Amino acid sequence: MDRIRIVGGNELKGAIPISGAKNAALPLMIASLMTDDTLTLENVPHLADVEQLIRILGNHGVDYSVNGRRERQDAGYSRTIHFTARNIVDTVAPYELVSKMRASFWVIGPLLARMSEAKVSLPGGCAIGTRPVDLFIDGLRALGAQIEIESGYVVAKAPKGLVGNRYAFPKVSVGATHVLMMAAALAKGETVLENAAREPEIVNLADCLNAMGARISGAGSSTITIDGVTALSGARHRIIPDRIETGTYAMAVAMTGGDVLLEGARVDLLEKALDIVAQTGAEVTQTNEGIRIARNGAGISPVDVTTEPFPGFPTDLQAQFMGLMTMSNGRSKITETIFENRFMHVQELARLGARISLAGQSAIVDGVPRLKGAPVMATDLRASVSLVIAALAADGETTVNRVYHLDRGFERLEEKLSRCGATIERISG
């Protein structure tokens, strides 16, 4: 099993190309099930989750071909992939595939809308809480689906097709908004989704579906209106830059000091997080090429944060920010409101010398003047990269184990950091 070895203490200087967003790529790939034409996606990142979803889509009959990155090209040059679901050969998404990645459950919306049936295993994914699928099921039922839970599978049928309706999410859910927006695009009549997620990835999917012939308005607001159409066509669409990767590297620079241009990054995708980074003492500057992050050696100021749905501070940056706060000049409070059980990185950060105490949904971080390298273990995707951020500033050597978590969401992380002066390498086996 691969590990990453880091020797801390180096400032980061240079440029890091920001890859296409994983959280946008996955629903866009799933949208290929909604048409028998070819959907071409640009800026698709090289990630384990993307490769897993390609296998899952192949199980349903989706063919794909790849253009793009050649050997020895710089990291960050993501691929263009053509997806064609001319014939859906299977409407079953089996446990052995879905259990490996939660987002693959989302195929239930397109399959039900196009084929009037779907049998999808209850999902797996990161161990950061229950994340129930009740919202998905309730929303699809509101569109006329008949749904039963049988032997660990969600069995959904709509013999006469889905029918538009008004549905108010009892709580904001990015995944459920993705699924209901896709399902409603092929439903009869108008659907209005209230209390919908507002994340940029929702907007990216709506833009793609509209390019395919859907009629969706209001994406990016809490009310989305979808006028159903009878069929969708192919399209060509570009995936937005990854705002979580952007925020992660911004916090890495704030942690280590230095000056890095995050190439292709967009401020509008994560204004709140960048405001927080600036409050810690880093300089954040928008340029024509992306976002420049710099810290000239001044101390790290403590800042309190609470995770919130977009446009608030993202839960997917909570662990990384905690890593940054471990060396702040004071006490900070980090409150997690989106997922339960998302503080599993605390014990591993403590192995590096961090002083963190938990109180319910909050973590109290008392900054220390220095961290010291040690062997640590990644517990999930975002927790794993928080350990990398801490290790980059720690004295001595840190080994991060179970880095397959990193490969799920960060494209060639060690290459990008090493190009900016970090002493970091992957150790195979």
The residue extents of the domains of the chain are 3-18+241-427, 22-238
**Residue 165 assigned to a binding site:** no
Residues 51, 52, 54, 55: what is their CA dihedral angle, to the nearest 10 degrees? 130
**Residue 22 assigned to a binding site:** yes
SS3 256: helix
Q: Shortest CA distance to 31 belongs to which of 55, 10, 57, 13?
A: 57
**Residue 23 assigned to a binding site:** yes
Quote the pLDDT of residue 76: 46
The residue count of the chain comes to 429
Cα–Cα distance between 316 and 218 in angstroms, integer?
A: 24
**Residue 207 assigned to a binding site:** no
Give, in degrees to the nearest 5, the angle at Cα 48 between 45 and 51: 75
**Residue 172 assigned to a binding site:** yes
List of E strands, 77-196: 79-84, 92-93, 117-121, 146-150, 153-157, 166-168, 190-194
Quote the pLDDT of residue 380: 83
Quote the pLDDT of residue 73: 45
What percent helix, strand, coil does the chain show, rounded to 5? 35, 30, 35
Quote the pLDDT of residue 382: 79
pTM, rounded to two decimals = 0.94
Give, in degrees to the nearest 5, the angle at Cα 177 between 174 and 178: 85
Cα–Cα distance between 203 and 425 in angstroms, integer?
A: 36
Residue-wise pLDDT tens for the chain (429 aa)?
899 999 999 999 999 999 999 999 999 999 999 999 999 999 999 999 999 999 999 999 999 999 854 444 444 467 999 999 999 999 999 999 888 888 899 999 999 999 999 999 988 544 434 447 889 999 999 999 999 999 889 999 999 999 999 999 999 999 999 999 999 999 999 999 999 999 999 999 999 999 999 999 999 999 999 999 999 999 999 999 999 999 999 999 999 999 999 999 999 999 999 999 999 999 999 999 999 999 987 899 999 999 999 999 999 999 999 999 999 999 999 999 987 767 889 999 999 999 999 999 999 999 999 999 999 998 887 789 999 999 999 999 999 998 888 998 999 999 999 999 999 999 987
Quote the pLDDT of residue 77: 62
Cβ within 8 Å of residue 158, ≥6 positions away: 112, 113, 116, 117, 143, 144, 145, 146
Give residue-wise pLDDT tens across range 219-262: 999 999 999 999 999 999 999 999 999 999 999 999 999 999 99
Which residues does the annotation mark as catalytic?
A: 126
Show contacts of 285-289: CB within 8 Å, 24+ apart.
Answer: 287/261, 289/261, 289/263, 289/264
List of E strands, 109-256: 117-121, 146-150, 153-157, 166-168, 190-194, 215-217, 223-227, 235-238
What token pair was written down for 163? 């029918």
The answer to whether domain 3-18+241-427 and domain 22-238 are alike in fold is: yes
**Residue 43 assigned to a binding site:** no
Q: Shortest CA distance to 53 belongs to which of 77, 30, 78?
A: 30
Q: Shortest CA distance to 235 belongs to which of 25, 35, 63?
A: 35
Q: Homologous superfamily of 22-238 in CATH? A: Enolpyruvate transferase domain (3.65.10.10)
SS3 287: coil
Quote the pLDDT of residue 124: 55
Q: Domain spanning 3-18+241-427 has what CATH number?
A: 3.65.10.10
Q: Shortest CA distance to 315 belongs to which of 346, 333, 337, 341?
A: 337
End-to-end CA distance of the chain: 5
